[in-house]
Structure 1
């Protein structure tokens, strides 16, 4: 059984980045898990952060999928965009019962189990085959992408291109509009 502790997720992340030859920088800071507050501690705009949310997508009465939605830190996940994404999948549309998929936030216990992290430390990577990563194009386009490194007191940044290469997310527009 994999180590589901925060230290296990941190160690696995660092090992993955090292073995993938990713250039990254660690940033130690006061413990913080909210996007705006940790961005202030790290000294960058929220648009350069990866906000990671675990979603439950009920495709039909028998099929539930779990999605790690990764959006810029200054945006919200557009649940309608995620719903449309999963309604449009050819392999699923034939099995859909009347109606469309329902999308909502995963319960805390399931999110922690699948992400192997507590809220505020969820990585934009999945180490669980049941958790599909979907990243907004604005995330992978970032020259510097910041996120908590499975710990409240340590973050890191990598390029969006390296993130896309290593995490291999499905890249789809899932972020809501930029706030006014």
Structure 2
């Protein structure tokens, strides 16, 4: 059973309020959000991160932030009392997520993966994400997502350097 099949089975079995959105293959958050026709802040950007806990100890975390924000690796490391955090290698991320890069779902479906979600994503009535496929996405009621995924909710997205309402492109120019 593919990760896509597992996801859809979970959503249907739980009677979650969701819909499927077919679109041209796209794994980047901003272009996918345009194809799906929603605000970038409603996109669940899913990143697999390796948190070093000591010399040989580590934990893998599926960090989920709004699509218009960047992950704060230092904050994530601090939450786990780790020494450092870095993005997992593509090979490890795809193995743990069960899908190719750019199509990771915001559910920790592997036992070696913790799930941490930034609260700013959860303020929307509906979130959007690629459904373990680059050509298909899911729009899911946020309260159903929280109920099904059971995420740890922590502030893990970088906060704006110029105020809460700064445009993402402005932050990119600043170098954030």
TM over 0.5: yes
Equivalent in 60, 63, 67 of residue 66 of structure 1:
60
CA contact (8 A) 2:74 2:84 kept: no
Equivalent in 97, 101, 111 of residue 119 of structure 1:
101
Matches of 1:65 and 1:109, distance apart in 2: 16
Matches of 1:19 and 1:101, distance apart in 2: 40
CA contact (8 A) 1:142 1:161 kept: no
Matches of 1:101 and 1:163, distance apart in 2: 31
Equivalent in 122, 128, 135 of residue 146 of structure 1:
128
Partner of residue 3, structure 2: 9
Unpaired stretches in structure 2, ≥5 consecutive residues? 161-167, 171-176
- 5 Å matches for 1:1-180? 3=1, 8-87=2-81, 100-178=82-160, 179=168, 180=170
Unpaired stretches in structure 1, ≥5 consecutive residues? 88-99
Distance apart, 1:140 and its partner CA: 2.2
Matches of 2:141 and 2:73, distance apart in 1: 26
Residues 45-91 of structure 1: CA distance to partner in whole angstroms, max 9, x if unpaired? 1101000000000101131100000000000101111011011xxxx
CA contact (8 A) 1:24 1:156 kept: yes
Aligned pair count reads 162
Matches of 2:86 and 2:92, distance apart in 1: 13
Q: Given the two structures, how large is their TM-score scaled by the length of structure 2?
A: 0.89
CA contact (8 A) 1:25 1:158 kept: yes
Q: Given the two structures, how large is their TM-score scaled by the length of structure 1?
A: 0.87
Q: SS of 1:150's equivalent?
A: strand
Residues 15-44 of structure 1: CA distance to partner in whole angstroms, max 9, x if unpaired? 011111101010011111101101111111
Partner of residue 174, structure 2: none
